[in-house]
Amino acid sequence: MANPEHLSIFKKGREAWNLWREEHPEIHPDLSGLSAPEADLDGFHFEACDLSRSDLRKCRLRQCCFRESDLFQAYLSETDLSGSDFEAAVLRQADLRNAQGLDVNFRKAGLNSARLEEAVLEESNFYGADLSQVSAFRSNLSRSNFSDADLSKVDFREIDAEDCQFLNADLFKADLSGSELSRCDFSGASLFETQLGQCTLKEAVFANAKMAGAYLYRANLKDALLTFADLSSSCLVEASLDGADLREAILVEANLEKAILANCLIHGVSTWKAKYDGSMQRNLIISRYDEPVIKVDQLEIAQFIYLLLYNPAIKSVLDKLTTRIVLVLGDFDGRGEDISDAIREALQKRELMPVFLHFREYSGAYAHETVDALADLARYVIADVSGVESIPAELAATIESRRHLLVQPLLQSGQELWRMYDFIAKYSWVRPLIRFKREEFPALIDKEILPALEAAIR
């Protein structure tokens, strides 16, 4: 029960109460069990105050100070908490359902087992707070900071938490199913067995996150950053990873069945015993930023190609196994994507595996070595030399030393040949140049170019 003297001063109003607090900072007021529903308590100083089991439902509590106060099992539902300070306060099992507030400070507060269902607490600070086993179903916590917080076993289903910070947070067995988490930063966070099914995680950051056993069924991870994340044994069935950065990520024994893996950066990814049945894989970039862009359409092939590029001695062992790879050279970024798509579709229809080498501004020794290594694996080469100056030098050097390698040059109508074309055209294994119109290319590659190449191989 509340201290009668403290309760009497409280009833005199904000000015009298705050003045008394200022004059007697050594006193820790006891207002336990206080009943003041729907009261206007804006600006009250309740720091280090015992308000356990108090009834403050529907109160105005804006700009209040609750630092180090005890609000155990307090009723704070439908309150307005804007700008209030709960740093290091005890809010265990408190009821904050439908509470509202902007820029509320819960730094290092103890909120374990509290109820925050359908609360709106945008831009709030939960840094280092204990939110274990909190229920916040359908709450709005956008742009809030949960870094270093304990969020283990929370019920965060269907919350709106765009642009939140979860750096180094503990989300062990947390349930965030169906939540909006775009652009959230989970760097270094622990997400062991966390439920993220059907979440929107566009442009989210999971760098160095520990996500073993996480459930990401149908999650939207478009353009997410997952570098060095541990996703071993995670479920990514039907997840979208379009444009995701998976460099150095661990996907050992992960389930990627029916997932979308397109335009991903996958340098150094580990996928031992991962499942891919029914997944859509294309434009997987195995190279680093400082290397010519190498794209393939299967994770297994990506690792194989990378292994060969960086372990040249293994190539001799695998020479007899490389009858399905077709090396495709050109500039396919942006303006040339429809050309690369047509080549890919026509090759895959014949159960051949395209390996795309995209030249940016690269040239010189490394580009030459890359073309050489890939050419040694190829069944034949298709080279679109339209508008690209860097291909001819590397291509010419490779062609000159590989009599076994059939090469089909392509040039878009209206563009000029480079100066060195005559140098490579003299070789018998270089087929006549084919000029093409962009709109006619899909039919041309499928009906004429590839059948002629296959016939020549035989």
Note whether 105 and 124 are within 8 A (CB).
yes
Q: What is the mean pLDDT of residues 221-235?
A: 98
State which fold the 300-457 domain adopts: Rossmann fold (3.40.50)
Q: Which two tokens stand for residue 45?
A: 């100083």
Residues 320, 412: Cα–Cα separation, whole Å: 34
* Cβ pair 241, 229 in contact under 8 A: no
pLDDT at position 361 over 50: no
What are 26-56's pLDDT values in tens digits?
999 999 999 999 999 999 999 999 999 999 9
Tokens of 127: 């840094």
Query: What share of the chain in percent tops pLDDT 70?
Result: 92
Please write the tens of the pLDDT for every residue from 98-141.
Answer: 999 999 999 999 999 999 999 999 999 999 999 999 999 999 99
Q: Give tens-digit pLDDT for 190-208.
A: 999 999 999 999 999 999 9
Q: Indicate left, alpha or beta for 336 from its phi (over 0: left) and psi (-120 to 50: alpha).
A: alpha
pLDDT digits (tens, 9 = 90+) for 257-311: 999 999 999 999 999 899 999 999 999 999 887 777 888 898 878 877 777 777 7
Contacts of 320 (CB under 8 A, 6+ apart): none
Whether the CB-CB separation of 413 and 437 falls below 8 Å is answered with yes
- Show me where the domains of the chain are located: 300-457
Whether the pLDDT of residue 322 is over 70: the answer is no
Distance CA 307, CA 268 (A): 10
**Per-residue model confidence as pLDDT tens digits over 330-342:** 776 555 678 889 9
Q: Which residues pair with 155 in a beta bridge?
A: 135, 175
- Give the CA angle between residues 421, 424, 425 to the nearest 5°: 75
pLDDT greater than 80 at residue 426: yes
Asked if 80 and 100 touch (Cβ cutoff 8 Å), the reply is yes
Residue 64's φ and ψ, nearest 5 degrees, are: -90, 155
Residue-wise pLDDT for 60-104, tens only, equals 999 999 999 999 999 999 999 999 999 999 999 999 999 999 999
**101 close to 83: Cβ distance less than 8 angstroms:** yes
Q: Is beta strand 325-330 parallel, antiparallel or unpaired with respect to 434-436? A: unpaired
Entry pTM: 0.79
Identify the pLDDT of residue 331.
Answer: 74
